[in-house]
Structure 1
Amino acid sequence: MTAFMTALTFVILAEMGDKTQLLGMAFATRYPWPTVMGGVFVATLLNHLLAVVIGSYLTMFIPLQYVQIIAAASFIIFGLWTIRGDELNGEDKDTHHSPFWTVTIAFFIAEMGDKTQLATIALAAQFANEMIPVWLGTTAGMMIANAIGILVGVVLGKKIPEGLVKWVAAISFIFFGMYGLYEYLPHEMLTIPVMAGGIVVIFLAIIFVAKLGGNKLPREQP
């Protein structure tokens, strides 16, 4: 259950404002929402099955502690990636297949190398002996996140509030990544200067990526 809930939570956070969520929202403006959700479900099942298999077998070649450190560091990267943001690059323009297969194929391709797939690989490596709960958790997370995107973006006729949602998701990723590094790095390395320096580097990286992506910290409207 821990693996399932962790995978569910992290993928929901990773998917908020992600390219594949934007893709689902775009398809939902053209096709019935059950068709879109069906295509998303099939594509996610196949794509994340591949991801959890890769992640689970990493521990056969890399010591578990190193995998855990890499996974923790990757969460910080996913947080920065979330801040930078994604955009569609024509993935929703396929008209050569039926609506269901158009959604399924486009979503599967868009998810290849995307941060939610990479997060799934990292989670599967972290929970190496719980491949099925991670697979089901990440799949459920994708369905929930895309259902939210479709509901907010289409049914209610509003965009997801990207500023607030992206920053909450990003900071959550970065926090858990920093906590993971604190937990798995050798404790003799975790001196006060090293930890303070790491925090400063991450803070500067957040500022740099936010400026690179044209994002600003969310502020209350007057």
Structure 2
Amino acid sequence: MDWKIFFTIFASVFVAELGDKTQLATMLFATDKAVSKYTVFLAASAALIVASAIGVLAGSLLSGYINEKYLHYIAGVGFIAIGAFTLYNA
């Protein structure tokens, strides 16, 4: 395993997930005293694993049809568009 790539991906996803709607929803579920905190943790973790698996699968499938260089451009434009949209609505 390439640990440099592992930690780069970990840090990127970790920072992207901090304070997002997913984390806020998980905190909301955890405030319910009738719900086990382990259940909240396991369910939220499973959801993130499945969502990540879908992303990996989609990226693998797309890379078979689209050049990796263009995928990077598409991802970059997508992030810029999301950022611009967020700034516009702020």
**1:174 equivalent in structure 2:** none
Superposition TM-score, scaled by structure 1 size: 0.35
**2:6 equivalent in structure 1:** 4
Letter in 1 for 2:75: A
What does 1:86-165 align with in structure 2 at a 5 Å threshold?
A: none
Alignment CA distance shift 1:2-1:71 (3 Å): farther
**1:35 equivalent in structure 2:** 39
Alignment CA distance shift 1:211-1:45 (3 Å): closer
Q: In the alignment, which of 65, 73, 77 is matched to residue 69 of structure 2?
A: 65
Task: Name the CA distance, whole Å, in 2 between partners of 1:209 and 1:20.
Answer: 17
SS of 1:17's partner is: coil
**1:148 equivalent in structure 2:** none
Letter in 2 for 1:59: S
Task: Name the CA distance, whole Å, in 2 between partners of 1:47 and 1:211.
Answer: 27
Deviation at 1:62, TM superposition (A): 0.7
Q: In the alignment, which of 55, 59, 66 is matched to residue 55 of structure 1?
A: 59
Q: How many residues align?
A: 86
Superposition TM-score, scaled by structure 2 size: 0.77
Q: Tell me: higher relative CO, structure 1 or 2? Use CA pairs within 8 A at least 6 residues apart.
A: 1
Tell me which protein shows more helix as a share of its residues. Answer: 2
Q: In the alignment, which of 45, 49, 61 is matched to residue 45 of structure 1?
A: 49
Task: Name the CA distance, whole Å, in 2 between partners of 1:26 and 1:50.
Answer: 25
Gapped regions of structure 2 (runs ≥ 5): none
Alignment CA distance shift 1:14-1:73 (3 Å): same
Aligned CA RMSD, in angstroms, stands at 2.1
Q: For 1:21-41, what per-residue CA distance to the aligned partner results, in whole angstroms no more than 9, with x for missing partners? A: 111010010123222111111
Q: For 1:78-132, what per-residue CA distance to the aligned partner results, in whole angstroms no more than 9, with x for missing partners? A: 5x2xxxxxxxxxxxxxxxxxxxxxxxxxxxxxxxxxxxxxxxxxxxxxxxxxxxx
**2:28 equivalent in structure 1:** 26
Deviation at 1:211, TM superposition (A): 5.6
Gapped regions of structure 1 (runs ≥ 5): 81-204, 214-222
